[in-house]
Amino acid sequence: MIVVKGLCKSFGKQEVLKGIDLTVEKGEVVVLLGPSGSGKTTFLRCLNFLERPDAGEITIGDTHVDCKSVTKNEILQIRRNTAMVFQLYNLFKNKTALENVMEGLVTPRKIPKIEAEEISRKILKKVGLGAKHDAYPSQLSGGQQQRVGIARALALNPEVILFDEPTSALDPELVGEVLAVMKKVAKEGLTMIVVTHEISFARDIASKVIFIDGGVIVEQGTAEEVLFHPKEERTRQFLKRILPASDYSI
Amino acid sequence: MGFQFDISFFVYEIGIAIQYIPVVLLLSIVPLMVGLLLGTGIAIIRLFKVRALAQLFTIVVVFLRGVPLLLQLTILYLTVTLSFDSLAQTLDLNMTSKDISYTLIAVIGLSINATVYLSEVIRAALQSVNSGQYEAAYSIGMTSLQMLKRIVIPQALPVAIPLIGSNLIGLIKGSAIASLISVVEIINGTLFEANGNYKFLEAYLAAAIIYWALCILVERIVAFLETRVGVYGKGGVV
């Protein structure tokens, strides 16, 4: 379970997050929507301290931290309870697909190599890349790289996987393969927080949709509620811009 | 008197110059090693913006880079030799400034110079690694040290190696300045032989040939190392 209370973050004078409260139950798939600059990616990055929040409390699994007095060790703990899938994949360029997946097991968690390799091979197979173990990232397509990225996150068996616009950098024809893997993962009961513009993914998979604008949560609820019966005017305006007209009637 | 070139003396001087290659290597390889070690430390401190130390090293680097190597070496030499006698006296040492090895002073001076330049080379190489690589390493729970060792340094190395090679060549040629503080290396060694017959052109040319050969050798080694690191990059630049 993840509990966030009063999360604030500023870059200089620019206040990006103005007190975000959020509870995510185990196994939930939460989709964060919002216009660019609304703070959704910053919020995601605050959850594993890639950005240092200015204030607020974060509980992930059995680790609870107060962002004002967080220690290096607590940050490491939080990071070892989470995993992240990046917009630009960020696979380790000097490592093969298999080594990329193994790395998080072998180095930070000190799992024996043989065991780590076995786990990693299984997971690569699950994301449909059983034949690409020895390929370096530069030899893989964007879709394949992102699937390795998801495999790298899955291998850690984290409390939650944070997805930061995982399909935004992909060619349209490669988006499908990545979304398919994400759906598969969601159905296995993993907790996921996803920043995306893929409304179809939100509609089909999300157990909760959250609309963020101007650094605050404007509206949250089920996909049905937020996407198709939004209460707030700002949500409606946003959806009007990104939803194709035909999608209004299900 | 026409222009005369004594080939046999020139060949003889090449032989002399070869004998002093170990001195040149001592004056360049040791500073390179020291420079790599300390330079990496300084680069990492500046990269992670360690409080106080980062600012301190920034100032030191800017200051030392702005002074010619020739002045660095001579100032160090004069400071050490002029202060040594009184220092030895207060410490009750039975030594005078005549007992200090000039080679040691040169090695120290060149090491300081190498540290300054290599810290910049290594900082540039570390910064050439995309910030996404750092973030991915943190996101899977690595410590900064693990990240440097497993992810960042292996990726920075292919960038750093040609630059380190250039610096080694610079050090080999820079070691010639040690001749000004009485270190007997290739230049002083060959000039000494020419003192009797004034055949300085032969002496200088012989010295030049050896420097040239050493630098070619370094270039070849670097080119070979370049083919050995960064195999993963073959698929493209990104």
The ipTM value here is 0.92
Res A54: pLDDT:
95
Does position B143 have pLDDT exceeding 90, yes or no? Answer: yes
Does position A139 have pLDDT exceeding 90, yes or no? Answer: yes
Averaged confidence pLDDT in chain B = 91
Q: Are B125 and B46 in contact (CB under 8 A)?
A: no
Q: Is A242 on the interface with B (CB under 8 A)?
A: no
Residue in A49, A90, A138 nearest the CB of B232: A138
Q: At what angle do helices A97-106 and A113-126 cross, to 10 degrees?
A: 130
**Using one digit for the tens of pLDDT, what is the confidence trace for A155-202?**
999 999 999 999 999 998 899 999 999 999 999 999 999 999 888 889
Q: Are A164 and A86 in contact (CB under 8 A)?
A: yes
Res B81: pLDDT:
87
Q: Is A48 on the interface with B (CB under 8 A)?
A: yes
Cα(B186)–Cα(A150) distance, rounded to whole angstroms? 60
Residue in B135, B140, B150 nearest the CB of A83: B140
Cα(B206)–Cα(A229) distance, rounded to whole angstroms? 88
Does position B1 have pLDDT exceeding 60, yes or no? Answer: no
Res B23: pLDDT:
95
**Using one digit for the tens of pLDDT, what is the confidence trace for B69-103?**
999 999 999 998 888 888 888 888 777 777 788 99
Q: Are strands A14-24 and A2-11 parallel, antiparallel or unpaired?
A: antiparallel
Assigned token pair, A81? 């309870």
Chains A, B: CB contacts within 8 A come to: 72
Residue B200 contacts by C-beta under 8 Å, 6 or more apart in sequence?
Answer: B191, B194
Contact A80 B141 (CB under 8 A): yes
Which of B140, B231, B237 should one mutate to test binding to chain A, selecting the residue with the greatest count of A CBs within 10 A? Answer: B140
Does position B236 have pLDDT exceeding 50, yes or no? Answer: no
Distance of CA B130 to the CA centre of its chain: 28
- Backbone φ, ψ for residue B19 (5° rounding): -60, -25
Exposure string for A42-79, b = 16+ CB within 10 A, e = fewer: bbbbbbbbbbebbebbbbbbebebebeebeeebbbbbb
**Using one digit for the tens of pLDDT, what is the confidence trace for B148-203?**
999 999 999 999 999 999 999 999 999 999 999 989 999 999 999 999 899 999 99
The whole-angstrom distance between A97's CA and the closest CA on chain B is 11
Does position A41 have pLDDT exceeding 60, yes or no? Answer: yes
CB atoms within 10 A of CB A34: 23
Res B90: pLDDT:
83
Cα(A37)–Cα(A31) distance, rounded to whole angstroms? 16
Degrees (nearest 5) of the Cα angle A217, A167, A164? 40
* % of chain A beyond a pLDDT of 70: 97
Residues of B in contact with A48 (CB under 8 A): 138-139
At residue B238 the predicted structure's pLDDT band, cuts being 50, 70 and 90, is very low
The rounded radius of gyration (Å) of the Cα atoms in chain A is 18
> Residue type for A228, please?
F
Res A248: pLDDT:
52
Assigned token pair, B128? 């050439």
Cα(B45)–Cα(B201) distance, rounded to whole angstroms? 47
Res B95: pLDDT:
78
Q: Which of B130, B202, B82 is nearest to A137 (CA)?
A: B130
Class of domain B22-183: mainly alpha
What pTM value is reported for the model? 0.86
Cα(B159)–Cα(B78) distance, rounded to whole angstroms? 38
Does position B234 have pLDDT exceeding 80, yes or no? Answer: no
Does position A244 have pLDDT exceeding 70, yes or no? Answer: no
**Using one digit for the tens of pLDDT, what is the confidence trace for A91-109?**
999 999 999 999 999 999 9
Residues of A in contact with B151 (CB under 8 A): 92, 94
CB atoms within 10 A of CB B14: 18
Cα(B104)–Cα(A117) distance, rounded to whole angstroms? 51
Q: Which of B169, B174, B163, B72 is nearest to B120 (CA)?
A: B163
Cα(B172)–Cα(B28) distance, rounded to whole angstroms? 5
Res B237: pLDDT:
42
- Backbone φ, ψ for residue A71 (5° rounding): -100, 165
Contact A138 B154 (CB under 8 A): no
Does position A140 have pLDDT exceeding 50, yes or no? Answer: yes
Residue in A50, A136, A139 nearest the CB of B139: A50
Averaged confidence pLDDT in chain A = 92
Q: Are A39 and A19 in contact (CB under 8 A)?
A: no
Does position A245 have pLDDT exceeding 60, yes or no? Answer: no
Assigned token pair, A152? 């790298």
Degrees (nearest 5) of the Cα angle B225, B231, B235? 140
Cα(B14)–Cα(B189) distance, rounded to whole angstroms? 11
Contact A92 B136 (CB under 8 A): yes
Q: Where are the domains of chain B?
A: 22-183
Q: Are A44 and A9 in contact (CB under 8 A)?
A: no
Res B235: pLDDT:
46
Average pLDDT over residues A55-61: 94
**Using one digit for the tens of pLDDT, what is the confidence trace for B44-67?**
999 999 999 999 999 999 999 999
Which of B139, B142, B232 should one mutate to test binding to chain A, selecting the residue with the greatest count of A CBs within 10 A? Answer: B139
Q: Which helix (H) or strand (E) holds B156?
A: helix B153-174
